């Protein structure tokens, strides 16, 4: 029996639940939110789609956190979203308190679960969940790299007018303006991106990727991206519960990898039934290494402001 719980029944949390329902492979899906009736209403709406999917997944929603008991994976999406012009870092104080309170409930009711954090500022919020739960580092993971890499791949495909399926690209570092869309490793069906696009066009794609979330926020006015973030979480959950051992970029605690220790940053990892099974470390070019160290420094600065 596979049970997944999502804390936060807002747009991202609902998107996570919907994509998990579409992907299948789970037996029980729980939504929890402190707003009265919100999780229950969203859960009922999802449950009513079961006949159309030919599925019999058990779906429930509540304000009662004890409902997450015995979850295999708990996804924390709770937190305030960005508004136009706002940086993710501006959410630090309020979302620290929200994620802290959620992590306490996870520790109490689902002590054997794997936790995936989505709340912003992402890398700092995964740190909060890690410290509050006291879980092993392989069981506390941040979702951002899957999303950022998907945006990067789409923008490349759009520029070249090719199928996004044939684009492979990797974004590392922090989830924010300092993220590192690696140009030298991006390729289309194995052909290096640098062989297909001029340098100035590649630089525009890299810049657009860095501010991809902000671009959506500027259009929506209220709220932020939720469809692709939800799908990105579902990809991670699927790799875990099915032990697929997918190589995905996730925010994880580094302890010497890439010469960095003590912070959570997005790096390629193998995701399996035990969570993070291995960090895939590889040699970075000097400029890339400098950029990753800059991300680490920024994350350290955010962590220094957190009071738990």
Nearest alpha carbon to residue 47 among 71, 21, 26 = 21
- Return the pLDDT at 88: 63
**Tokens representing residue 210 in the block:** 């860095």
- Return the pLDDT at 185: 97
Q: Please, which pLDDT band fits residue 168 given cuts at 50, 70 and 90?
A: very high
Find the catalytic residue in 175, 186, 210, 266: 175
Q: Domain map of the chain by residue range?
A: 3-142
The question of whether 175 is a catalytic residue gets the answer yes
| Helices 145-160 and 199-210: angle between axes, nearest 10 degrees | 140
- Return the pLDDT at 222: 85
Tens of pLDDT, residue by residue over 42-93, are: 999 999 999 998 899 999 999 999 999 999 999 999 998 766 766 667 789 8
Tens of pLDDT, residue by residue over 92-138, are: 989 999 999 999 999 999 999 999 999 999 999 999 999 999 999 99
- Return the pLDDT at 223: 82
Rg of the chain, C-alpha, whole Å: 19
Could you give the CA distance from residue 105 to residue 269 in angstroms, rounded to a whole number?
A: 27
CATH top class, domain 3-142: alpha beta
CA torsion sign, 79 to 122 to 217 to 158?
A: negative
- Return the pLDDT at 221: 87
| Predicted confidence (pLDDT) at residue 176 exceeds the cutoff of 80 | yes
- Return the pLDDT at 233: 98
Tens of pLDDT, residue by residue over 257-300, are: 999 999 999 999 999 999 999 999 999 999 999 999 999 999 99
DSSP string for 114-154: EEEE-PSSHHHHHHHHHHHH---GGGEEE--HHHHHHHHHH
Q: How many CA atoms lie within 13 A of 257 on its CB side?
A: 18
| Predicted confidence (pLDDT) at residue 193 exceeds the cutoff of 80 | yes
- Return the pLDDT at 80: 83
Could you give the CA distance from residue 253 to residue 265 in angstroms, rounded to a whole number?
A: 7
**Tokens representing residue 105 in the block:** 């409930």
């Amino acid at each position: 029996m596979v049970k997944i719980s999502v804390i936060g029944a807002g747009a991202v949390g609902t998107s996570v639940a919907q994509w998990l329902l579409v992907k299948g492979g789970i037996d029980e899906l729980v939504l929890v939110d402190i707003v009265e009736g919100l999780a229950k209403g969203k859960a009922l709406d999802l449950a009513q789609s079961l006949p159309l999917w030919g599925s019999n997944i058990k779906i429930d929603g509540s304000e009662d956190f004890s409902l997450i008991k015995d979850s295999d994976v708990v996804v924390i999406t709770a937190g305030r979203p960005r508004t136009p012009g706002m940086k993710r870092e501006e959410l630090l104080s309020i979302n620290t308190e929200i994620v802290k309170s959620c992590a306490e409930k996870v520790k109490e009711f689902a002590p054997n679960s794997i936790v995936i954090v989505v709340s912003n500022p992402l890398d700092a919020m995964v740190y909060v969940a890690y410290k509050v739960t006291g879980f092993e580092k392989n069981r506390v993971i941040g979702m951002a790299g899957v999303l950022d890499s998907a945006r990067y791949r789409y923008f490349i495909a759009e520029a070249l007018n090719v199928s996004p399926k044939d684009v492979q690209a990797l974004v590392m570092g922090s989830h924010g303006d300092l993220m590192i869309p690696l140009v030298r490793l991006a390729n289309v069906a194995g052909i290096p991106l640098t062989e297909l696009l001029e340098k100035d066009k590649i630089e525009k794609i890299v810049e657009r990727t860095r501010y991809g979330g902000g671009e959506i926020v500027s259009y929506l006015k209220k709220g932020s991206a939720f469809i692709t973030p939800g799908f990105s979480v579902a990809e991670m959950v699927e790799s875990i519960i099915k032990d697929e051992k997918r190589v995905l970029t996730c925010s994880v605690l580094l302890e010497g990898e890439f010469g960095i220790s003590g912070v959570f940053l997005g790096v390629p990892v193998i995701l399996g039934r035990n969570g993070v099974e291995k960090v895939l470390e590889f040699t970075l070019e000097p400029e890339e290494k400098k950029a990753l160290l800059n991300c680490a420094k920024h994350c350290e600065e955010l962590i220094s402001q957190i009071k738990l």
